[in-house]
Amino acid sequence: MSLSLTSPVTGSAQTGFTSPTYTLVTDVAPDINAKQYIVSALGGTQTGATAHSVSLPFTISMFRPKVVRPYSANNDTTKFTVNNPINVWKVITRKGGIPYTGERPTVASLTSAFSIPAGVETNNIAEVRAMISAHIGALTQMSALLGDSVNNGTL
């Protein structure tokens, strides 16, 4: 199965947004080991938010490691893994915005990086799945609170 998104994506709760959805269109990825989508349309009530444009980009990109490095058992009799490779997967969302009326647009980004020691994905995938599930669940649960925190500077 290939990592991909189905359009539209239902957004999570945010203060002032009602039933946010994001229509996706496949885009040219910035890297051979990536997939990218642009948000071509917004649904629900998202007053002040905009879909993708050249000056205000709205993209979601997924990256896999350039080379997925396998676990390589060492001959160390202590049974401790030494210098085990780490495979990093990333999801990056970028959104353009204008910091102040009359100023040039700038781009904000949000990155989730999944650093998985080689071998764990084969020998203990349930632990990786639990980590990903809890991470995304936590982000979903506190979505509106994160938006509020960014707005008011509190944690």
Q: What are the tokens at 48?
A: 């002040």
Cβ atoms of 8 and 21 within 8 Å: the answer is yes
Say what the pTM is. 0.86
Reading the chain (155 residues) residue by residue, the pLDDT tens digits are: 477 899 999 999 899 999 999 999 999 999 999 999 999 999 999 999 999 999 999 999 999 999 888 887 665 566 665 678 899 999 999 999 999 999 999 999 999 999 999 989 888 998 999 889 989 988 999 999 999 998 898 88
How many other C-beta atoms lie within 10 A of the C-beta of residue 49? Answer: 19
Q: How far apart are CA 133 and CA 59, in angstroms?
A: 23
Residue 14 backbone dihedrals phi, psi, to 5 degrees? -140, 145
